[in-house]
Chains A and B, each alone.
Chain A
Amino acid sequence: MRKSLLRPLIFLAMLVFVAGPGKAAAAAPAADGAAKADLLASVQPASPNGTGSKLSEVDELKDRRVGVLQGSAHVEYVEKTWPRATLLQYNTPADLLLAVKTGKVDAALSDAEPLRAMLRQDKTLGMLGGSLFSFPEGVGFGKENTVLLDQFNQFLARLQQSGIHADMVDRWMEKNIIDMPTIANSGSNGELVVGISDGSLPFVAIKDNRLIGFEIELSERFGAYLGKKVRFSQIDFSGLIAAAATGKVDMIIAAIFITDERRQSINFSDPYYEEATRVFGLKKNIAAYGTSITDSDSGVPFFTRVAASFHSNIIREKRYLLLWEGLKATVLISILATILGTVLGALICYMRMARQSVLNVPARVYISVLRGLPVLVLLMFIFYVAFASVNVDPLLVAVIAFGLNFAAYAAEIFRSGIEGIDRGQTEAGIAMGFGRFSTFIHIVLPQTVQRILPVYRGEFISLVKMTSIVGYIAVQDLTKAGDIIRSRTFDAFFPLVVVAVLYFLISWVLMLALEYVERSTDPQRRREQAVRQ
């Protein structure tokens, strides 16, 4: 047993060793900075025009690969301004950053404020040119929710008059003070659900497992103004508008530019900030920074850097709590969905095997539809369509979606298991005097369980991994926790590695547990164990 425990651990250690230092490509012995820069450069695929030359002005992006945040106003800008550029869209700012750092894009567009915060932390990044354009940012509301919209506009006007707004801008944007002031809130008027997206400082971030940022403070102040307790719901940026339009959340605030297109779906408040858009990329790809860029990491021993990454990504601001919460969500969804899926699967299997077409046909349809539908689509469908007007915990939606999906596969697994049992077993039970049902319970089922467990186990493990998409409906699972950390620390790799390791550990532990069940239900092994004791 000890040996089998050790082996995966060694594997894990190797994984961390290879990918650990934050910059996978930089894992070479740190001889000198120049050698390392070469190494980094060699990982980058050549840009489409084949020149790979340094960028000196923004317009050179016209035939390059440009990264943008999916669903942002930047998409439209790039499409209009540089139609020949390769446009690559990313879901989160963290992904966008990762794309820049790994050379998947030559440069990326970003809101100026978060970019400033990012650049403070990561010395390899630099800006290209000046501001492209600026847009007013507003809070979004569902079309029906005009009362709340008016209340917000009054609140904002008051905030600006009293000078609190100016103070907020000064603290978050200019002075980079990242502490939340205490805001008194009676919370007696109910709840205000605010949709946010994991942006980055200064707007939204997580520190000490708490949400902080300009927009968080603004929301909290608005909540206090209304006397409502604020509940934040994390949603991918591209899903925000839908969440507001369908009433999933009361309002959305995520540095959203007020555009005419968006006005068609939702109402916007008066602008609370005017945001510029800037271009950024790796310094060594930007001519303005010259050639003498040295990576601050070079010369630092490998293990020191791993330790530093570990500290900044896991320990600082209690980020391990984020991971722990995410871990719990992932395990909870997996287990509950499996239970739901198993029960439902048994029912579907019963219907599928029934002779009456009233039962049999719906089961067939269910199985083929659910198996032919991507889980992500199912998940979004249930969240935004089926439960559109109901305030439902996204965790529950995830359990339902994965449970429904699992049921379709489980039903077929059960059926093949049951059909694989020799008819003679049933006949012998019936001839002995068992009824049809008790024959199934006492004779067929125990043999089926034994037979299907290996396949079932595989299906379960793949379900665990499949749950990594629940971030789309604002569930903070393990993957999402990793994304949040990435968006806060701007360390592209380390959180990914940690998340990968954690997924592996979950799967491995759950696999061992199921293997144990499998062994304990195998009668022949059970006897051997009894003999040994």
Chain B
Amino acid sequence: MIKVEHLSKSYGDLCVLRDVSAEIRKGEVVSIIGPSGTGKSTFLRCLNLLEHPSSGSIHVDGVDILDRKADITKVRQKMNMVFQSFNLFAHLSALENLTIGPVKLKGMDRHAAEAKALDLLRLVGVAEKADRYPNELSGGQQQRVAIARCLAMDPEIILFDEPTSALDPTMVSEVLSVMRRLAKDGMTMAVVTHEMEFACDVSNRVFYMDEGQIYEEGTPQEIFGNPKKEKTRAFVNRIRSYNYRIVSPDFDRYAMNAEIEAFCEKHILPRDTRHNLMLAIEEILEFYKPDLRSGPLDLAVTYSEKTEALEAAFERSGEWPNPLESDLQPDDLGLRIVKGVSEAVDYQVAGGRSRLVVRIGKE
């Protein structure tokens, strides 16, 4: 029902969306995920022209809404929006927030509109507060009223712009359960969200947005279970990383160690785990020492908040033999230490690069 082709949006020199094409079909729930500032909200706001695209085309039910002749207000009436900051009309009670649209825009009879509004407030569980004003409601209640306000217009699709981001953690679930219910009832929804669980459980499709594009698109199983691209994987596993490039044997070892420690502290890793990580890195760098003059070595420490896996990866260009298996070492004490503190050691040579990955067990 919505077809977007080659959509771009820039603010002056800043390009927020570049060449986005996508389709949202009737009855579908599409979740749009991705890091902050990658154009998710802008994309959504372009769909109902709250932001005017710089180029591209948007068709809603076959109507080109960027055409000057198109009646955009009519299109918006069947494509309502739920905002991060609720945006309930402050001068109207909850009930009046629901009736103003149908009465003023659709010429609905006031009594009929009120009866319907009460039904909808009942549906989202705030009928008791029908005559309250927005500032007298909690955030969760306000957002549920806002959803009911959308429903009052009988929309064909609802756009959700981070509906739970401004809420207290305790109120997130009350809003999400209302959204789950809408999805179950077959409402077409486009949801920009940071709630991965919701995106995974409820949606039919997931757009992962990054760098102003739909970077990867697929079913929740594909995106969350087996993402094809590195960035997607890092995002869905909530992987945090620390990178350091060693260019000479005389690199500042102490500075690097301090930064790794800070990284561990930030992600609240246990002291023993941190100690093991530092030990493993120190011993492995001993193995690399003879070769450090011949080219830079990249160290990446990664930690997945989802799987809690902590890894240290050493990568350099050229196809090298595994330094851990070299015969040059005077004794095998270093190797024993590395094996002792790590859960797994993996060495791969591919595409002209050699990569050693050590996984540190979390205790």
A residues at B contact (CB < 8 Å): 422, 424-425, 427-435, 438, 442-443, 446-447, 450, 523-524, 527
Q: Can you list 8 pairs linking A and B with CB atoms under 8 Å apart?
A: A422-B87, A424-B85, A424-B86, A428-B81, A430-B50, A431-B76, A433-B76, A433-B153
Which stretch, B100-108, B109-117, B197-205, B266-274, touches the partner chain A?
B100-108
| In the complex, B92 has a CB within 8 A of chain A | yes
Let me know if B80 and A523 touch, CB within 8 A: no
| In the complex, B7 has a CB within 8 A of chain A | no
Residues of A within 8 A of B88 (CB): 428
Let me know if A447 and B90 touch, CB within 8 A: yes
Q: Output the least CB separation between A449 and chain B (Å).
A: 9
Let me know if B73 and A427 touch, CB within 8 A: no
Residues of B within 8 A of A442 (CB): 100, 104
Let me know if A443 and B104 touch, CB within 8 A: no
A interface footprint on B237-271 (CB within 8 Å = 1, 0 otherwise)? 00000000000000000000000000000000000
Residues of B within 8 A of A527 (CB): 93, 131, 133
**Which residue of B86, B91, B101 is within 8 Å of A432 (Cβ)?**
B101
B residues at A contact (CB < 8 Å): 48, 50, 73-74, 76-77, 80-81, 83, 85-93, 100-101, 104-105, 131, 133, 146, 149-150, 153, 159
Let me know if B83 and A434 touch, CB within 8 A: no
Question: Beyond A425-B90, A427-B87, A431-B50: 19 further Cβ-contacts under 8 Å?
Answer: A422-B85, A425-B87, A428-B88, A428-B89, A429-B89, A431-B83, A431-B159, A432-B76, A432-B77, A432-B81, A432-B101, A433-B76, A434-B73, A434-B104, A435-B73, A442-B104, A443-B89, A450-B91, A524-B133
Let me know if A433 and B73 touch, CB within 8 A: yes
Q: Output the least CB separation between A210 and chain B (Å).
A: 54
Contact (A431, B73) CB under 8 Å given A425-B90, A442-B100, A527-B131 = no
Residues of A within 8 A of B90 (CB): 422, 425, 447
Let me know if B104 and A428 touch, CB within 8 A: no
Nearest B residue to A446 via CB reads: B91
Residues of B within 8 A of A446 (CB): 91
Q: Output the least CB separation between A428 and chain B (Å).
A: 4
Let me know if A434 and B81 touch, CB within 8 A: no
Contact (A427, B50) CB under 8 Å given A434-B104, A442-B100, A523-B91 = yes
The answer for the CA separation of A432 and B81 in the assembled complex, in Å, is: 7
The answer for the CA separation of A314 and B313 in the assembled complex, in Å, is: 101
**Which residue of A424, A438, A523 is within 8 Å of B83 (Cβ)?**
A424
Residues of A within 8 A of B48 (CB): 431
The answer for the CA separation of A447 and B93 in the assembled complex, in Å, is: 13
Let me know if B93 and A425 touch, CB within 8 A: no
Residues of B within 8 A of A438 (CB): 104
Residues of A within 8 A of B131 (CB): 527
Let me know if A523 and B104 touch, CB within 8 A: no
The answer for the CA separation of A474 and B73 in the assembled complex, in Å, is: 55
Residues of A within 8 A of B159 (CB): 431
Contact (A424, B87) CB under 8 Å given A430-B50, A432-B105 = yes
Let me know if B83 and A427 touch, CB within 8 A: yes
Residues of A within 8 A of B92 (CB): 523
The answer for the CA separation of A429 and B81 in the assembled complex, in Å, is: 10
Q: Output the least CB separation between A432 and chain B (Å).
A: 5
The answer for the CA separation of A275 and B86 in the assembled complex, in Å, is: 81
Residues of B within 8 A of A447 (CB): 89-91
